[in-house]
Structure 1
Amino acid sequence: MLLPSILFSKLIEPFSAPFMQRSLSVGVMVGLICAVVGTYLMVQRLALLGDAISHSVLPGMAIAYALEASIVIGAFIAGILSTIVINWIRARSDIKEDAAMGIVFSAFFALGIILITIIQKNEPIDLNHFLFGNILAVTFNDLRDTAIIAVAVIAVIILLYKELLFYSFDPLGAQANGLPINLLNLGLMVLIALTIVASLKIVGVVLVLALLIAPGATAYLLVPRFHQVMLLAAGFGVIASLSGIYVSYFTNIPSGPAIVLFAFGLFILALLFSPSQGVLTNPHTDSGSSPLWQEIKSLLPRR
């Protein structure tokens, strides 16, 4: 009886540490809102936009840190500014949206690296905390800010669910029906920026895109309807966040990469075993070979 008791005590140990309680709470909220907002990005095929905004917040964080202001506010302002610049380039030139995103996010990210390098000359900064998150740095204020952002994001999505859904699948039809598509687009950009800001302490600038896209892509392989995808993606996002944080406590690895790997693992499982689209669960082909072998053969060079 002693060994099971010791093992059980070890397993529940993370839940007794105050910093882990804060981190797990933030992880649940971040996993939820990232998956929900990311579902809209996936439907609109705008994954690069999430990447652009996530990289663009870095200079805002650096400036806020130098001014001893709120990093959350600095990151949010930089994220919104990047979307304004992207839309301005797209509206004032023939440059396509994906090219504008690539130009803006790389420029903002480079500016952020330069600013952090300048700040490091006077004060040492661990760049990894900005890029990959820092579970140990989650404070009560971070928990409060994340809760406010999560409530705001979920409330907006509930209130504007039908409008955002219509706009995501058929923007021209939404415009023809009198919906303010420019405001809806701006609102979605704000939701993305808020979600990314809320995720910075857990997964960081570089890895937040995975948490935005992977849960929705996983759910898309399993269920057909949009609301089902959104709900299932939220569950996957929470599971990946909790699992990554929990494992990082025992293995002393960064929480952000751990969360992303769990999200990727769930996606691979869905890709292999999805009832309708799984590589291993689809019926055998007429030739008698398995779908997996067919996939492998398609990758080999033909003579």
Structure 2
Amino acid sequence: MIDLLQYEFMRRALIAAVLVGLITPVIGTYLVQRRLALLGDGIGHVALTGVALGLLTGTSPLLTAAIVSMIGAVLIEVVRTRTRTSGDVALALLFYGGIAGGVLLIGLTPGASNATLTGFLFGSVSTVSEEDLWVVAVLALGVAAVVAVFGRELFVLCQDEEVARAHGLPVRFLSVLLAVTAALTVVIAMRVVGLLMVSALMIVPVVAAQQLTRSFRVTMSLAVVIGLLSSLGGLSTAFYADLAPGATIVLLALAVFVVAVGVGGVLRRASGHRAASTRPPAVTAEAGTMPESDPGRVSR
């Protein structure tokens, strides 16, 4: 780890990895709970259009990606709620439009190379500038503020939209807010893991945590730990082994998921055996009482 800190670009990369590891699983927990796991992928494709627009106009690709991603997130909610289009179809439209717009604008950008596009698609932490780091930090604070203020309302929304509406919560506003927050999270993580893999870091740590616990709050906390360890561990491994950082981070998160599946299965079997051993024996008809299987028995 000391070797990493000797290089300025790696110090910036480590800070970005910490921010990504902390923020992405938080939003991912809400998305998984609401069954919108693919939303990050759709917004990632739209963010590509924002990146290309930034390169074409000579402005910060992170800022233009944030603006375009938020617009795309709002549009997907409008399409989903105000038309007869289902959520998965709306996501598909976002996929196609985002990738097509990005490729078109990249082609119009003078001097844009395949290396530049690849860096945004698959991550390139070595090119994170100080300006990029400030943008990522501000966006991360914004996402954290949204969760701190509206976390309880978003939890109710993700549990059951009808229950949220019955409690008088602004369902449409909260839905748009969650989508916009997910869009900002995608932009935060794209420099570390890339637009094509950013959704994995939002979802895989959450799914891994779900193998070990069922509590929403504990799942989120454990997912943050897994995301943070995956980001830092993957980045460090990529540095020493000369591997692609984004892919290494995602594969490490997937490895944690596989381990969590095994550990969760063992824990559930052990819990089942303990429950069976402590269960009182069934009283049979030979003991002079009515057996539980008697169809005439009435339960209170």
TM > 0.5 between the two?
Answer: yes
Read off the aligned partner of 1:134 and give its amino acid letter.
Answer: S
- 8 Å CA contact 1:54, 1:208 repeated in 2: yes
Please tell me whether residue 132 in structure 1 is matched to residue 122 in structure 2.
Answer: yes
* Residue 90 of structure 2: aligned partner: 100
* Residue 71 of structure 1: aligned partner: 61
Aligned length: 272
* Residue 21 of structure 2: aligned partner: 31
* Residue 293 of structure 2: aligned partner: none
> How large is the RMSD of aligned CA atoms in angstroms?
2.0
Q: What are the equivalent positions in structure 2 for 1:116-265 lying under 5 Å apart? A: 116-119=106-109, 122-126=111-115, 127-265=117-255
Write out per-residue CA displacement over residues 191-236 of structure 1, whole angstroms, 9 at most, x where no aligned residue.
1111111111101110001000001001111112100000000000
CA distance in 1, matches of 2:14, 2:271: 34
- Which ranges in structure 2 are unaligned for 5 or more consecutive residues? 274-300
* Residue 41 of structure 1: aligned partner: 31
Rate the CA distance shift 1:226–1:91 in 2: closer, same or farther, 3 A. Answer: closer
From the CA coordinates, give the structure whose radius of gyration is larger: 2
- 8 Å CA contact 1:131, 1:206 repeated in 2: yes
- 8 Å CA contact 1:131, 1:204 repeated in 2: yes
- Which ranges in structure 1 are unaligned for 5 or more consecutive residues? 1-10, 284-303
- 8 Å CA contact 2:44, 2:195 repeated in 1: yes
Write out per-residue CA displacement over residues 240-274 of structure 1, whole angstroms, 9 at most, x where no aligned residue.
00011101111221111011001101001001121
Q: What are the equivalent positions in structure 2 for 1:3-14 lying under 5 Å apart? A: 12-14=2-4
Read off the aligned partner of 2:122 and give its amino acid letter.
Answer: F
Taking only the aligned residue pairs, the percentage that are identical comes to 34
TM superposition shift of 1:86: 2.1
SS at 2:154 equivalent: helix
Please tell me whether residue 269 in structure 1 is matched to residue 237 in structure 2.
Answer: no
* Residue 4 of structure 1: aligned partner: none
Rate the CA distance shift 1:88–1:164 in 2: closer, same or farther, 3 A. Answer: closer
Determine which of 93, 96, 105 is the counterpart of 1:115.
105
Greater mean alpha carbon deviation, residues 164-173 or residues 85-94: 85-94
CA distance in 2, matches of 1:276, 1:41: 27
Read off the aligned partner of 2:175 and give its amino acid letter.
Answer: N
- 8 Å CA contact 2:56, 2:108 repeated in 1: no
SS at 1:160 equivalent: helix
Read off the aligned partner of 2:247 and give its amino acid letter.
Answer: P
* Residue 18 of structure 1: aligned partner: 8
TM superposition shift of 1:78: 1.6
CA distance in 2, matches of 1:253, 1:24: 16
Rate the CA distance shift 1:279–1:193 in 2: closer, same or farther, 3 A. Answer: farther
* Residue 297 of structure 1: aligned partner: none
Write out per-residue CA displacement over residues 45-99 of structure 1, whole angstroms, 9 at most, x where no aligned residue.
1012111111111111101111111212211122122223323333443221101
TM superposition shift of 1:182: 1.2
